[in-house]
Amino acid sequence: MLQCNILRLFHIVDVLEKSVSGAAAALPTIEAQPTHKALPMFLDAGDLSPEATYRLMSGIVVPRPIAWITTVSEAGVVNLAPFSCFTFVSNKPPLLGVNIGRKAGRRKDTGANIHALGEFVVNIGDASQMVAIHESSAEHAPDVSETELLGLGTLPCSTVRVPRLADAPVSMECRLERVIAFGDTGAEFFVGEVTAFHLRDGLMREGKVDTRALDPVCRIGGPNYATLGEIVTLRGMQQTPKAVMDGRGGG
């Protein structure tokens, strides 16, 4: 009887082992499963072409605001193009900076016009103007006016000879302060001093720009854009007031 029970126990253990190993065989082993963890990537900047570096940096430095720049050529043609390598570099005086590259070694119309006249206007478009902002980047001969081509109205400025876009929520009249050349492709960083601001009615609230009302467009990579998402307000931080220093540049 005891021997019979022991034999039955061995049989049960055998059946269990077989079913467990069968189940295990049906499942892929852990080693066989593809890993979904992305591998870190190391890129030696010196190995990258100008195009590859541009794609990489414009994908990393995001989102970027867009300076929608009007200029006038020596022949009097109003030029319009968007530039997202754009930031402000000083508040007193107000200075804006924009990086303008070249097309096959030749200055873009915007760069050439700023060099010639020393004046330009940085307009800020809103989300309703996104398609026009994008379309104004198409390459045209210097005698073609993108404002006329796109049917965008302009208005004269007060302190510069370049017109501003009539429907842009913000336009900043700029006088060229300096140009700094960078890199191997002839790109130039144009710094302009803002001599006058134009702000659409209702854009300022309690002394500040109402960002929702501005409804800005920003550039991501390539033909991809984004609009303002959620605004998160955290606690205000105490800031030591800025002081005007003797002589520009300080030390």
Ligand X SMILES: Cc1cc2nc3c(=O)[nH]c(=O)nc-3n(C[C@H](O)[C@H](O)[C@H](O)COP(=O)(O)O)c2cc1C
Residues that bind ligand X (CB under 6 A): 66, 79, 81-85, 99-101, 108-110, 134, 137, 139, 219
> Closest separation between CB of residue 95 and ligand X, Å?
17
Q: 100 - beta bridge partners?
A: 188
Asked if 88 and 94 touch (Cβ cutoff 8 Å), the reply is yes
Q: Which is nearer to ligand X, 28 or 222 (CB)?
A: 222
> Closest separation between CB of residue 139 and ligand X, Å?
5
Q: What is the C-alpha separation between 45 and 52, in angstroms, rounded?
A: 10
Return the SS3 of 167. Answer: coil
Q: 173 - beta bridge partners?
A: 121, 196
Q: Which is nearer to ligand X, 20 or 59 (CB)?
A: 59
Q: Which is nearer to ligand X, 110 or 154 (CB)?
A: 110
Q: Which is nearer to ligand X, 79 or 129 (CB)?
A: 79
> Closest separation between CB of residue 203 and ligand X, Å?
22
Q: Which is nearer to ligand X, 143 or 210 (CB)?
A: 143
Q: Which is nearer to ligand X, 14 or 74 (CB)?
A: 74
Residue from 113, 59, 75 nearest 222 by CA? 59
Tokens 């209702």 label which residue? Answer: 202
Please name the helix (run of DSSP H) or strand (run of DSSP E) that holds residue 105, with its range, or none: none
Q: Which is nearer to ligand X, 21 or 85 (CB)?
A: 85
> Closest separation between CB of residue 88 and ligand X, Å?
14
> Closest separation between CB of residue 37 and ligand X, Å?
34
Q: Is 31 exposed, middle or buried (0-12, 13-18, 19+ CB in 10 A)?
A: exposed
> Per the structure block, which two tokens stand in for 213?
């009302």
DSSP per-residue string spanning 167-217: T-SEEEEEEEEEEEEETTTTEEEEEEEEEEEEE-TT-EETTEE-HHHH-BE
> Closest separation between CB of residue 79 and ligand X, Å?
5
> Per the structure block, which two tokens stand in for 106?
């030749």
CA atoms within 13 A of residue 56's CA, in its CB half-sphere: 12
> Closest separation between CB of residue 168 and ligand X, Å?
15
> Per the structure block, which two tokens stand in for 11?
């049989």
